[in-house]
Amino acid sequence: MMLQHLPIEDVIVQFTVVILAALVVRIGFERTRVPGLIGLIVLGMIIGPGGLNVLPQEPVVELFGSIGLLYIMFIAGAEIDLDLVRDRKQEAISFGAMAFVFTFAPAFGVGLLFGLETAGALLLAAALSSHTLVAYPIIGRFGLAGRRPIVAATGGTLLTDTASLLVLVIVIRSAGGEGGGSWIVPIASLAALSVGALLVVPRVSGIVLGSELNTQAEKALFLLAVLLVLSVLADAIGTEDILGAFLAGLCLNRALHRRHDLKQHLEFVGQMLFIPFFFVETGMRLRLDALQDLATWLLALALVTVVLAAKGSAAMAATRLFGYSRAEGLAIASLSFPQAAATLAVIVIGLELKLFDADTADAVIIVIFLTCLIGPLMTRHAAKRMSQDAPADR
């Protein structure tokens, strides 16, 4: 009888189910040293329309998931230590450029080989050319965040994510998405928005966040307002809201690094509320029957091979170029393997605009699974070896 009342329609019950399930799943997966985002995606697969159909995507999961995506991109821009990257900019730019180019070309070829149109293959390549620092907390626990190769990996993330998102805008406009038309005007508008935001937001944030008259809650609301306003503006000029969210993180980067308590407060809200909904929504997009499709697995395995080989080659080249140890080279590679934030953002938008089909999206989600499992395991191993090293130049 209960199955007749599924999916659950009451929004309060929907919200409650996701929160409780996410709590149990995250605790369970983190205890096994598997990233919690994997568990949340699995949860979405099981309870979503493609699984047991316990919950619909709309309205609760979709709404909070959309904000969660913005939050992820915001944190991606905010967590990079720009001062460290500036000191090691040559290494960061070199590794980021190699990681992007080495991945983009073969991923584009795989997309064409599996029948995607040029626009879809370009979007797929852009998605996989980025990387997410899922395993970065492991590095932090070992006290290695300031080491040269780690700075190169984090700085490279800034370059790869920015390049991936710019390719997203160009492909969407060229392919006729968002009303079609030239991509030059949106990119120029984005450049103008970026310059304006980078000039204005840090100054305003210094006043608001530095005032003792403003409470922590008011300061957190200001940060959230910056995130949402820049996201809305980025969308209004013909690009994507996730670009505005990423820009907001960059604008507030130094302010948040000087105020760790406020940064932790903001991340707490995201990790507790919005971000879990995004990963659950992502899992809802994956059809369980896709796991039985040989073609989906072939594409997924081909893409995983591209990611591991390309990022590994970039790490190897950086190791030889800048004199890193083998353990440090392994750390760079393992940090760049996981695909999550920008990858999911590009895939979700591409799927909505029908630049590729659900089978391709399913394959990419499988790639996210595998890389987010492999990356942290390798990072932990590399961090243990690095902590035993005593390099002359840290």
CATH of the domain at 172: 1.20.1530.20
Q: Which amino acid is at 325?
A: S
Average pLDDT, the chain: 82
Range from 1-10, 132-141, 257-266 that averages highest in pLDDT: 257-266
Q: 311 or 353: which carries more pLDDT confidence?
A: 311
| pLDDT at 90 > cutoff 80 | yes
Range from 32-36, 153-157, 250-254 that averages highest in pLDDT: 250-254
| pLDDT at 75 > cutoff 90 | no
The two counts, helices (H) then strands (E), for the chain are 18, 0
- For residue 392, being part of any structural domain is answered with no
Dihedral sign for Cα 104, 108, 111, 113, please: negative
| pLDDT at 229 > cutoff 50 | yes
| pLDDT at 257 > cutoff 70 | yes
State residue 109's pLDDT score. Answer: 93
Tokens of 113: 């080989």
**Distance of CA 226 to CAs 51, 221, 337, Å?**
37, 9, 31
State residue 302's pLDDT score. Answer: 94
- For residue 394, being part of any structural domain is answered with no
Residue pair 91/148 in contact (Cβ under 8 Å)? The answer is yes
How far is the first Cα of the chain from the last one, in angstroms, to the nearest whole number? 64
d(CA 363, CA 297): 6
| Full domain range(s) for residue 298 | 9-387
d(CA 302, CA 125): 12
| pLDDT at 1 > cutoff 50 | no
- For residue 393, being part of any structural domain is answered with no
181 pLDDT band, cuts 50/70/90, is low
The count of structural domains within the chain is 1
- For residue 191, being part of any structural domain is answered with yes
CA atoms within 13 Å, Cβ hemisphere of 94: 18
Residue with tokens 């492999």, as numbered in its chain:
374
- Spell out the residues 6+ positions from residue 296 whose beta carbon is closer than 8 angstroms to its own: 290, 359, 362, 363, 366
| pLDDT at 175 > cutoff 70 | no
d(CA 377, CA 372): 9
Instruction: List, as one string, the DSSP characters of 119-177.
Output: HHHHHHHHHHH----TTHHHHHHTT-TTSHHHHHHHHHHHHHHHHHHHHHHHHHHHTTG
Residue pair 41/283 in contact (Cβ under 8 Å)? The answer is yes
d(CA 384, CA 3): 49
Residue pair 382/334 in contact (Cβ under 8 Å)? The answer is yes
Phi–psi pair at 183, nearest 5 degrees: -90, -10
379 pLDDT band, cuts 50/70/90, is confident
In terms of Cβ atoms closer than 10 Å to its own Cβ (0-12, 13-18, 19+), residue 177 is buried
d(CA 157, CA 387): 23
Residue pair 148/95 in contact (Cβ under 8 Å)? The answer is no
301 pLDDT band, cuts 50/70/90, is very high
What's the whole-model pTM score?
Answer: 0.78
Cβ neighbour number for residue 180 with a 10 Å cutoff: 10
- For residue 2, being part of any structural domain is answered with no
Residue pair 43/88 in contact (Cβ under 8 Å)? The answer is no
State residue 70's pLDDT score. Answer: 85
Q: 257 or 181: which carries more pLDDT confidence?
A: 257
pLDDT digits (tens, 9 = 90+) for 8-21: 888 888 888 888 88
pLDDT digits (tens, 9 = 90+) for 317-361: 999 988 888 888 888 888 888 877 778 777 777 887 788 887 888
- Spell out the residues 6+ positions from residue 137 whose beta carbon is closer than 8 angstroms to its own: none
107 pLDDT band, cuts 50/70/90, is very high
| pLDDT at 223 > cutoff 80 | yes
- For residue 1, being part of any structural domain is answered with no
The mean per-residue pLDDT over the stretch 254-271 comes to 81
State residue 313's pLDDT score. Answer: 93
CA 210 to chain centre: 30
239 pLDDT band, cuts 50/70/90, is confident
d(CA 257, CA 194): 20
390 pLDDT band, cuts 50/70/90, is low
The length of the chain in residues reads 394
State residue 305's pLDDT score. Answer: 94
225 pLDDT band, cuts 50/70/90, is very high
The mean per-residue pLDDT over the stretch 152-176 comes to 80
d(CA 153, CA 130): 12
- For residue 122, being part of any structural domain is answered with yes
